[in-house]
Amino acid sequence: MPADFIQHSKAAPFGTTERAAVYEAIFTRRDVRSNFLPDPISDEVLARLLSAAHHAPSVGYMQPWNFIVIRDDERRREVRDLFVAARQSESEAIEPDRRDLYRRLKLEGICETPLNLCITCDRSRSADSPLGRFHNPQMDLFSTVCAVQNFWLAARAEGIGVGWVSILETEALKQLLHIPDHVVPIAYLCVGHVSQFAPKPDLENAQWGSRLPLADLIMSEVFSGSGEKALKAAAASSR
């Protein structure tokens, strides 16, 4: 962890400035596709981001993640070729009236960033311990997603953009990156300094979708249960 990190051992809330910084990272995090700068990311900064990812919660303390750092230009071009092929097949599944908009969306920055990162889940790492996975064996996958989120939020705090490229055929990516059968690629990320972070998510700016009202997603006691009027009112007035 960073040398200047102040550990909070007591169960007290963060101070006003610290708390605001956490929420600022959450609310201004973006899935970045453009505005990348050519500036390299130092090993010191990248190590901090990976340390944040490595400190993610994991069920049964299994820590199933690995981090493949990809800098080679040719390999990244090959990954982009995979993206282009996958996007073509995905576009055929898009509703016809939205297909033109889909094709105009910028959905990756694979060759525009100084490095890419593939975060994987080693499904054999906790094979000897069923703790937390006996009834829910997919928890190792969910734990790895927590590592992705930690990396993303830490990157935002460092002023570094991250774009998640999900339009990739898994087996083709595994073959290209020599990922063994028992390991699952969870996230392929484009990582780089940026000139700016968009005020709103790109897909919202492109009118692909909009953020759902939080109050509409809160249920009471059971699915679709009514109630919690005060909480819903507070949620409606929150950011």
| Dihedral in degrees, nearest 10, Cα atoms 126, 132, 135, 137 | -40
- Cut 0.85: pTM above it: yes
Q: What is the side-by-side order of every strand in the sheet holding 115-122?
A: 65-70, 115-122, 183-193, 160-164
What phi, psi does 62 have (nearest 5°)?
-75, -25
Domain at 17-194, CATH homologous superfamily: NADH Oxidase (3.40.109.10)
What is the predicted pLDDT for the residue at 126? 79
Low-confidence stretches of the chain (pLDDT < 70) are: 1-9
Q: d(Cα 145, Cα 10) in Å, to the nearest integer? A: 27
Residue 61 falls in which region: left (phi positive, over 0), alpha (psi -120 to 50) or beta: left
What are the extents of the domains in the chain?
Answer: 17-194, 212-239
What is the predicted pLDDT for the residue at 2? 59
What is the predicted pLDDT for the residue at 52? 98
What is the predicted pLDDT for the residue at 11? 82
What is the predicted pLDDT for the residue at 6? 59
